[in-house]
């Protein structure tokens, strides 16, 4: 189970990076990871842990993320995506000193790169070849 793998590795991590898509399996997947481990076998000692979210914001609820920061299960968070977008102006994340917010630009796309991919895929399409970078609608990414 992926959640068991996350739990097993978290205790050794300095940085936890989320790049997961938003699917039925990943929504709120990390909600209880920080709290469940803090009670069991983690020596928080001098280790600093930072959560970086560049995937989809709904892998952890804003409430659970704030709880992890308030209880020092996390020492910081760098957030590029949010559970609800745009982030509400009243969200406590805006003023939290442990949080760095970025404007949802972790994956910059340059027009020349997009044009190159489009041209290649158009050629593949015309020549009845498999396309690159297809989205699987059943998987959600």
79 CB-contact burial (10 Å; exposed 0-12 / middle 13-18 / buried 19+): buried
Return the closest-CA partner of residue 53 out of 24, 90, 3, 93: 93
Which residues have CB under 8 Å from 85's CB, separation 6+? 57, 104
- The answer to whether the beta carbons of residues 75 and 45 sit under 8 Å apart is no
Which residues are designated catalytic?
Answer: 56, 85, 104
């Amino acid at each position: 189970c992926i959640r068991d793998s996350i739990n097993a590795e978290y205790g050794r991590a300095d940085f936890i990076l989320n790049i997961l898509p938003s699917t039925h399996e990943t929504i709120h997947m990390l909600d209880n990871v920080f709290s469940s481990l803090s009670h069991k076998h983690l020596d928080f000692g001098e280790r600093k842990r930072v959560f970086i979210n560049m995937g989809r914001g709904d892998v952890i609820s804003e409430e659970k993320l704030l709880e992890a920061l308030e209880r020092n299960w996390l020492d910081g968070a760098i957030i590029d995506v949010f559970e609800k977008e745009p982030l509400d102006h009243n969200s406590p994340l805006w003023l939290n000193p442990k949080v760095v917010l970025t404007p949802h630009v972790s994956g910059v796309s340059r027009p020349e790169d997009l044009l190159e991919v489009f041209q290649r895929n158009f050629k593949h399409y015309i020549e009845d070849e498999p396309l690159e970078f297809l989205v699987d609608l059943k998987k959600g990414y």
